[in-house]
Amino acid sequence: MTRLSAATLGTLPATFETPRYDRAQVKTGVVHLGLGAFHRAHQATFFDDALAAGDPRWGILGVSNRSAEPGRNLAAQDGLYTVVARDGDAIAPRVIGASRGVMVLADGAAPVIAAIAAPETHIVTLTITEKGYRLRPGGGSLDPDDPGIRHDIASPQTPETIPGLLVAALARRKATVATGLNVISCDNLPANGARLREAVLTMAREVDSALHDWIAAQIAFPSTMVDRIVPATTQDDIATFADQTGVTDTAMVKTESFRQWVIESVLTADVPDFARFGVTLTRDVTAWELTKLRMLNAAHSTMAFCGLLAGFTFVHEVIATGPGRRIVEDLWDENQTTLRATEGLDVAAYRAATLARFANTALHHKLIQIAADGSQKVPPRIIAPLGERLAGGMASPVLLRALAAWLVCLTDGPGAARPIILQDPRAEALRGLMHGETRQQVGALVSRSGLFEAPVFGGDAFQSALASEIDRLRRDPAAALSL
């Protein structure tokens, strides 16, 4: 058995794609915040493409929020890890050499601030999940009541949140090199760049108005659409990979071969030759973003909540059933009416390709992983299109079912015979609103959770329909996945 490292790189089986560049020459051009598997399987592969094409500026300094583990695993392998693309029985291992080290934010923000302010840094990418943006419930603008945000406005030198960290780092950059920077959000929230920009500017205005103006003029916050299915890698995956290849890699990530990145073309500082590596640069990212969120992500969430209630574990199991596939198609028929058209985006082809991706039996994508953080994910994927259709007088039985299934999973999980325990920062608060008759629970959720912003949700017809759907699924959870 070979442990992946710089010393063993030359001895890997021929099926491995390995860095074709001199790693000693690589500079740190990118600081990435949120060092999860998604970043390592997605953005890192594009920067690695740029290195392989002979531009050494795009090494990545990874910043993990709290956990020291990703850094330890990478350090033990000289920063190397394998992206293992699995499609059915085929595996394509690619060793990524772009990592230039890892910092842990919880150990202190100062080195991260210095790295973001460094003259060689041209890009900051973020995968901090929806909740990392500290927006008001339901999306929207920065949440002024968030304790972390309040802390960072009062003590901007020692930030605890990512918006606070960016403000501190940009203040340092302004005071030192004073050159621009691309801050690229890669999380699944609508208008991700615009929202991040607004969050950072809102905080900066509180701290120093000249800093606010400088950021507004110098820093680009493009919105993006990012796509690659990257389920959490398990110990089993690592063992299977070792059996298949003879190579041990404790930092590997498993994924599919598909990858897509669409970036709004408002970039300011230097960037790699993105278009050459398959990135789409466009003035109109909204249509792409909406399609991804309301087709792929909405189907994921629907399969997750309904599939869990019906007793399934993985995405590919749900899509292999007639009703599972039908519910996804019906959901797409509903959400498709809320999309926007743009050049190059063919929704019919997108649907077909996405179905095939869901059917990939080699990914073992757990429904419970997708079901986490519903309070952040359900508003853009399910509630927003439901509200738009409601306002247009259209019935949306599948969206309603998905919403009801989430609420049933959330409230009936703990203590149920077969408990479904959803990880969600707002789970307790939402459960706290749900007392009394179901119809009352729905009324309290709509008026007090902040998740149902559109006035159209205030009507009795909608609230009664949601309450009946919740009651139906509580009586018969398996009905969540029947036609």
Sequence-ordered list of residues with C-beta below 8 angstroms from that of 481, at least 6 positions apart, any chain: 306, 307, 309, 310, 312, 318, 321, 323, 324, 327
229 scored as a contact of ligand CS2 (CB under 6 A): yes
d(CA 238, CA 251): 9
**Residue 367 is a binding residue for ligand CS2 (CB under 6 A):** no
106 token code pair: 């919880």
Q: Which stretch binds ligand CS2 (CB under 6 A): 12-20, 98-106, 131-139, 222-230?
A: 222-230
- Told to check if 212 binds ligand CS2 by CB under 6 A, we report no
Task: Find out whether 180 and 269 touch, Cβ atoms under 8 Å.
Answer: yes
For residue 188, state whether it binds ligand CS2 (rule: CB under 6 A).
yes
Q: Which residue's structure tokens are 């590596």?
A: 277
CB of residue 347 to ligand CS2, shortest distance in Å? 17
CB of 368 to ligand CS2, least distance (A): 10
Cβ proximity to ligand CS2, 290 vs 370, nearer residue: 370
The residue within the footprint of ligand CS2, chosen from 185, 297, 396, 449 (CB under 6 A), is: 297
Which of 197, 228, 254, 316 binds ligand CS2 (CB under 6 A)? It is: 228
* Binder of ligand CS2 out of 227, 330, 334, 424 (CB under 6 A): 227
Size of the site for ligand CS2 (CB under 6 A): 9
Alpha helices in 100-175 (DSSP H): 110-117, 147-154, 162-175
Q: What is the 3-state secondary structure (H, E, C) of 40-101?
A: HHCHHHHHHHHHHCCCCCCEEEEEECCCCHHHHHHHCCCCCEEEEEEECCEEEEEEECCEEE
3-state secondary structure of 281: strand
Cβ at position 129, least distance to ligand CS2 in Å? 9
Q: Give the tokens for residue 168.
A: 């501190």
The 257-286 site mask, x for binding ligand CS2 (CB under 6 A), equals: ------------------------------
Binding flag, residue 370, ligand CS2 (CB under 6 A):
yes
Closest residue to ligand CS2, based on beta-carbon distance: 300
Sheet holding 90-96, edge to edge: 90-96, 81-87, 253-255
**Is residue 364 a contact residue for ligand CS2 (CB under 6 A)?**
no
Summarize as ranges the residues that interact with ligand CS2 (CB under 6 A): 188, 227-229, 297, 300, 369-370, 377
